[in-house]
Chain A
Amino acid sequence: MLLKRLLYCTSLTLFLFLAGSLEPTLFAALFGHFKPHLLLLLVIYASLYRTIPEGGFMSLLAGYFQDIFSGSPQGFYMLSFMLVFFTIKILSQAFYVPGKKLEVLSIFLGTLLATLYGLVILSIFTDHAAHFFVVFLRSALSALWNTLIGYFLFAGFHTFDLWVGKRDTKKVITGDARS
């Protein structure tokens, strides 16, 4: 049990570092301003399949990493990711039935929500200007990439969850979502 927990924590940390290494380099070179967000995908997965304390902490950590690798004000992505986490968590408790279609929809909406919250936070806490239309257009294209990558990544996450005995995905998804 302890070993599996250790493996789980190590994998999570490795994923954060991997995302932090891949997004600004490989993804930036391949997709430019429309690059997919691995860290945001982790937040969306956590909001669908983790409890509030665990998923919330994961989202906080993902936001912190995003803040480190970004020129954003400290706390910007932490807050934005937390808001995405809670929004999807609330929505999923009301409407989510585990399945690929809703998973994909959650990823798409989650990406757009992250941008929306980001712009709101930007306008409240900083004097930074933003070209809303362009930012949203980029976000929509980025959401498409996220959806495509998320489709496969989430399948990997499910398998990993079962492998580390984190939880019986199907059982807990239903339990978490409905409880």
Chain B
Amino acid sequence: MLKFLKEKRLIIIVVFLILLPLLFLSSGSKSRHEMAWYERVVYFLTNPIQKVITNSVEGAFHAFDYYINILDTKQKNQTLEKKVSSLLQELSQLRETQLENERLRLLLNFKQRVSPFMVPAQVIAKDISNEFETVQINKGSEDNVKINMAVVTPQGIVGRIIKVTSHYSTVLTVIDPASRIDAVIQRTRARGVISGIAGAHGVMEYVRRTEDVQEGDVVISSGLAGIYPKGLQIGTVYKIIKKPYGISQYVEIKPTVSFSKLEEVFIVMSLEPLPQKKEN
């Protein structure tokens, strides 16, 4: 037996190396919900580093932008630059305040519209691969984040939580190939299911061929399944292929959320409205 094992060592190793991943894959062990302890260890060790790197990169980008602005002004006039610079700084501060004001007003409206129970979170890392679209955020079970909670921005739906560690979570975005959201076309109330496509934005499946769908139509969440708030924007229709046969039409969606620039998001902790105060 031992002799056989020694002789066939290489073949056994090759078979093992191929079979192990196949076993993982075919058993469908990605129950994306459950996280093994060793996975938690990896996340525990890397998430803080990712957070630091992301903050540093963002800081460096902002500093670089600032430097470019200053350099540009310098070239125009050395003397005038100081004045312009200080004025610009003031203006920038004012603009920043104005933008912040607008943003806060928007967020307040958004919060009132969607759910009063929302927690802000920062995106600390994107998906390591180029084919899948998940993001890591800096809120976890310690902040009462749970699996399947919706993640949104004022622009629209980002996705839902699929993994949670104590301080970090993974969000499956609407453009990931594994994502499925029940949606309706706002104008005609035509129903469909939005799923992500690797290498593209997303597609709205199961939309009946007879339904009226036009480019530019806004697609919103239907609220079914109780994960996403009803009526939130998901995207707009930008390509329709309607064949003369078949029962459904091909509708491609462009998400309203800019996933490449995603920095801050909101986790919807509960979809229930605030209890109404009883009038005496």
Residues of A within 8 A of B (CB): 17, 20-26, 28-30, 32-35, 39, 52-53, 56-57, 59-60, 63, 65-79, 82, 86, 115, 118-119, 121-122, 125-126, 128-135, 138-139, 142
Contacts of B206 in A (CB 8 A): none
Are B170 and A21 interface neighbours, CB within 8 A?
Answer: no
Docked Cα-Cα span, A119 to B198, in Å, equals: 9
What is the distance, in angstroms, from B195's C-beta to the closest C-beta of chain A?
7
Number of chain B residues close to chain A: CB under 8 A: 54
A135 engages B129 (CB within 8 Å)? no
Q: Report the Cα distance A33→B130, complex, angstroms.
A: 5
Assuming A24-B125, A68-B42, A132-B199, is B136 touching A125 (CB within 8 A)? Answer: no
Chain B residue contacts of A22, Cβ below 8 A: 53
Does B126 contact A52, Cβ atoms closer than 8 Å?
A: no
Q: For the complex of A and B, list the 3 residue pairs with the smallest distance between their C-beta atoms, beginning with the closest.
A: A75-B24, A128-B177, A78-B21
Task: Check if A122 sits within 8 Å of B131, measured CB to CB.
Answer: yes
Are A75 and B53 CB-contacts (below 8 A) given A32-B260, A70-B127, A70-B134? no
Asked whether B57 lies within 8 Å of A75 as measured between CB atoms, the reply is no
B14, A139: Cβ atoms closer than 8 Å: no
| Beta-carbon nearest neighbor of B14 in chain A | A52
Report yes or no: B24 in contact with A56, Cβ–Cβ below 8 A: no
Complex A-B: 26 CB contacts under 8 Å: A17-B46, A22-B53, A23-B128, A24-B127, A25-B124, A28-B126, A29-B57, A29-B58, A33-B130, A56-B17, A60-B20, A63-B21, A66-B128, A69-B46, A69-B129, A70-B128, A71-B32, A73-B28, A73-B178, A76-B25, A128-B177, A129-B197, A130-B177, A131-B198, A135-B199, A138-B130
* Bound form: Cα–Cα A131–B197 in Å: 6
The answer to whether A34 touches B17 (Cβ under 8 A) is: no
Pair B30/A74 contact, Cβ less than 8 Å:
yes
Chain B positions 93-137 with a Cβ under 8 Å from a chain A Cβ = 124-134, 136
| Complex: chain B residue closest to A33, CB-CB | B130
A67 to B24, CA, bound (A): 11
Interface residue B29 (Cβ < 8 Å from any Cβ of A): yes
Q: Which of A32, A73, A79, A135 contacts B30 (CB 8 A)?
A: A73
Interchain CB contact (< 8 A) of B39 among A68, A75, A82, A138: A68
Point out the residue from B10, B50, B199 that lies within 8 Å of A52, measured CB to CB: B10
A82 to B198, CA, bound (A): 21
Instruction: Tell me whether B225 is interfacial, beta carbon within 8 Å.
Output: no
Docked-complex contact A60 and B21, CB < 8 angstroms: yes
B127's contact among A71, A118, A135, by CB below 8 Å, is which? A71
Cβ B21 vs Cβ A82 within 8 A: yes
Q: Within 8 Å CB of A71, what residues of B? A: 32, 127, 129, 132-134, 162, 170, 172, 176, 178
State the CA gap A52–B177 with chains docked (Å): 33
> 1/0 per residue B164-199: CB within 8 Å of A?
000000101000111000000000000000011111
